[in-house]
Amino acid sequence: MVKIKIDQIRKLRGKTGAPVVRAKKVLEEVGGDEKKAEEILKEEGFEKAAKRSGRATEQGIIATYNHHNQKVMGAVELFCETDFVARNDLFEKLAHNLAMQAASMKAEDAKELEKQDYIKDPSKKVSELVKEVIAKTGENIRIGRVIRIELGK
């Protein structure tokens, strides 16, 4: 049996949002391989996110991002289930990053935005980024309106 260190559990929990006990158990199952454990826990989180997709999302925020010396602006409505999560740093950061994505990549609507490669990490889609935050917060999250305004156009 591999000895699991608390730092490994803490790091894995920070990346996946998994409970401490689950993070430890998965690390033990994969012999301490942090990368494998992260993949397993992220997949479990995505499965949980899929189950939450039917929940009502009536709270949220509108995030904006100005780009190219204030000449391009992206705005995104981001919805969640409770105002508690709407004030959460993870949720606010997601909203900011989605507004940046909208300003940079010219998405016409939420479905198009979700299909795009994430500008900060092209190895993942925007939809995966949203699912990661769903897994960490435990609430359904959905993108509402997506707006991009360019000066003079």
Render pLDDT for 33-56 as a digit per residue (tens, 0 to 9).
Answer: 888 888 888 878 777 766 666 677
- The dihedral through the CA atoms of 130, 134, 137, 141 has a sign that is positive
Q: Are 65 and 103 in contact (CB under 8 A)?
A: yes
pLDDT at 101: 96
Rounded CA-CA distance 110/97 in Å is: 14
Q: Give the SS3 label for residue 112.
A: helix
In a domain, 1, yes or no: no
Burial group, residue 8, by CB count within 10 angstroms (0-12, 13-18, 19+): middle
Give the percent of the chain with pLDDT over 90.
Answer: 48
Give the percent of the chain with pLDDT over 70.
Answer: 94
In a domain, 30, yes or no: yes
Rounded CA-CA distance 17/121 in Å is: 19
- Tell whether 88 and 32 lie within a shared domain: no
pLDDT at 11: 86
pLDDT at 72: 92
Task: Provide the pLDDT confidence category of residue 1 given band limits of 50, 70 and 90.
Answer: low
- Tell whether 70 and 85 lie within a shared domain: yes
Average pLDDT over residues 64-85: 91
- Tell whether 74 and 145 lie within a shared domain: yes
Average pLDDT over residues 86-103: 95
- Tell whether 14 and 66 lie within a shared domain: no
**3-state class percentages of the chain: helix first, strand second, coil last, to nearest 5:** 50, 20, 25
Query: pLDDT: is 143 or 69 the higher one?
Result: 143
> Which domain, by its residues, includes 13?
6-52
Q: Give the SS3 label for residue 153.
A: coil
Secondary structure tally for the chain: helices H, strands E:
7, 5
- Tell whether 98 and 30 lie within a shared domain: no
Average pLDDT over residues 21-41: 86
Rounded CA-CA distance 84/64 in Å is: 20
- Tell whether 33 and 69 lie within a shared domain: no
Q: How many domains is the chain partitioned into structurally?
A: 2
pLDDT at 49: 66
- Tell whether 41 and 64 lie within a shared domain: no
pLDDT at 44: 80
Q: How far is CA 54 from the centre of its chain?
A: 18
Q: Are 148 and 73 in contact (CB under 8 A)?
A: yes
pTM reported for the whole predicted model: 0.74
- Tell whether 69 and 138 lie within a shared domain: yes
- Tell whether 14 and 42 lie within a shared domain: yes
